[in-house]
Homo-oligomer: A and B are copies of this chain.
Amino acid sequence: MAGTGIDTGHLEELTGYLLRRATSRVMADFVQVAANHDLRPVPFSILLLVESNPGVRQGQVAEALAIKPANMVPLVNMLVERGLLRRRVGVEDRRSFELALTAAGRNVLQQCHAGIAAHEQRLFSVLSATERARLHDMLRRVIQSADNGDQQDL
């Protein structure tokens, strides 16, 4: 894989290793793209999820993104302080917080849109449209297998 060309051995046969390396490469590029708006991958995913679910509870976002509730707190604080997210005490359950985008938050996502599309195009142009569809399908299956009873051996 590298210029010096040392033997990658069994490593290149481990799906987990290949996933980690590919993700690392893709995230590094994403960070460059979203750097204009100071948005890292995780905060960005929160905004995108809230955009599709205005008024969603903070804990629902955490669960959907596999973020621990304790880790949501500073993330949401940051997004609220930056004026991208609105956080309101729940009307039915006053323990909960309901999240929604502000106008500024919607603007930022809209401004990111073209850059993100170009980023995906740039990184995955080595894959055909069919391959990309297959990749999405495979990754979704791997992710979803966590939500089911696939812990037999643990």
Contact B14 A19 (CB under 8 A): no
Mark out the residues of chain A between 101 and 116 whose CB falls within 8 Å of any chain B CB in the assembled complex.
116
Complex Cα distance A53/B23, Å?
25
**A136-B18, A138-B135 as given contacts; A122 in contact with B143, CB under 8 Å:** no
Interface status of A2 (Cβ within 8 A of chain B): yes
- 30 residue pairs from A and B, CB less than 8 Å apart: A1-B143, A2-B60, A3-B63, A6-B52, A6-B64, A7-B53, A8-B49, A8-B64, A9-B53, A10-B52, A11-B52, A12-B140, A15-B124, A15-B135, A15-B139, A16-B23, A17-B41, A18-B139, A18-B143, A19-B23, A20-B23, A21-B66, A22-B139, A24-B66, A25-B66, A25-B143, A25-B145, A26-B142, A122-B153, A127-B141
Instruction: Specify the main secondary structure of chain A where it touches its partner.
Output: helix
